[in-house]
């Protein structure tokens, strides 16, 4: 009996290890493939815009490229429209109804901290005045980090047009990045806030 119990325990341990490996690396491979598709879609949107065609962004479509220099030269993710589970498996997701890149209001983006390539895993490393670059089809928008916060999951004021101040009408563009906190938990939310620093229109 002891031998059977031991073998069962070892087997269960191996299955658990394989499952954890899938969560950490297997899901990342899926996201990497989806990111290639989203980046190709962004290139097609830019080409269409250059030809005078402006296409509406549907749920699941590509919104813009997100780059954060503080997190490394290779840090870049295509942002997808939507924050449902299926959307966030593809990459960071833009909250439908919140401002688009560069618009007056709050451009709100949520992303995984652990699985599915963990795009926001190191969000806590951002410091005041760090840059967040959003490459949209019409311009490059550079935001400046203003602060960080940790909130409860039901504190929805962070996605208001003026973050944290739902009763105030916005007069400038903001950005809000959101992810789970602490790592490997969804007990709270880590929030990074920023404001638009500069806009560089595309020449092509």
Segment 11-41, tens digit of pLDDT: 444 444 444 444 455 799 999 999 999 999 9
**Residue 76 pairs with which residues in a beta bridge?**
67
Nearest C-alpha neighbor of 112 from the set 179, 181, 27, 191: 179
Q: What is the pLDDT of residues 97-112, one digit of tens each?
A: 999 999 999 999 999 9
Beta strands (DSSP E) in the chain are 62-67, 76-81, 93-94, 105-110, 131-135, 139-151, 173-181, 188-201
Task: State the CATH number of the domain containing residue 118.
Answer: 2.40.260.10
Containing structural domain, residue 88? 2-201
Q: What is the pTM of this model?
A: 0.86
Q: What is the mean pLDDT of residues 82-111?
A: 97
Q: How many domains does the chain have?
A: 1
CA distance 185 to 188: 8
CA 126 to chain CA centroid, Å, is 14
Q: How far apart are CA 13 and CA 95, in angstroms?
A: 38
Instruction: Name every residue whose Cβ is closer than 8 Å to that of residue 195 and which is 6 or more positions away in sequence.
Output: 143, 144, 146, 172, 173, 174, 175
Please confirm whether the linkage preceding 182 is cis (ω < 30° from 0). yes
pLDDT per position as a tens digit, 37-75: 999 999 998 888 877 787 889 999 999 999 999 999 999
User: How far does Cα 196 stand from its chain's mean position?
Assistant: 17
pLDDT in tens, 125-160: 999 999 999 999 999 999 999 999 999 999 999 999
């Amino acid at each position: 009996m002891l031998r059977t119990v031991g073998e069962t325990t070892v087997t269960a341990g191996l299955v658990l290890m394989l499952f954890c490996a899938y969560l950490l690396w297997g899901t990342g491979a899926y996201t990497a493939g989806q990111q290639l598709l989203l980046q190709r879609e962004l290139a097609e949107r830019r080409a269409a815009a250059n030809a005078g065609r402006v296409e509406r962004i549907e749920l699941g479509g590509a919104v813009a490229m997100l780059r954060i220099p503080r997190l490394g030269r290779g840090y870049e993710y295509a942002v997808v429209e939507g924050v449902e589970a299926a959307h966030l498996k593809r990459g960071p997701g833009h909250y439908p109804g919140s401002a688009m890149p560069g618009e007056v209001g709050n451009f709100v983006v949520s992303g995984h901290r652990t699985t599915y390539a963990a795009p926001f895993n190191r969000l806590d490393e951002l410091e005041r005045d760090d840059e967040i670059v959003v490459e949209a089809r019409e311009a490059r928008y550079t935001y400046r980090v203003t602060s960080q916060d940790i909130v409860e999951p039901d504190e929805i004021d962070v996605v208001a047009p003026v973050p944290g101040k739902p009763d105030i009408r916005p007069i400038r563009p903001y950005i809000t990045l959101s992810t789970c906190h602490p790592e490997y938990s969804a007990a709270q939310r880590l929030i990074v806030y920023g404001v638009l620093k500069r806009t560089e229109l595309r020449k092509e």
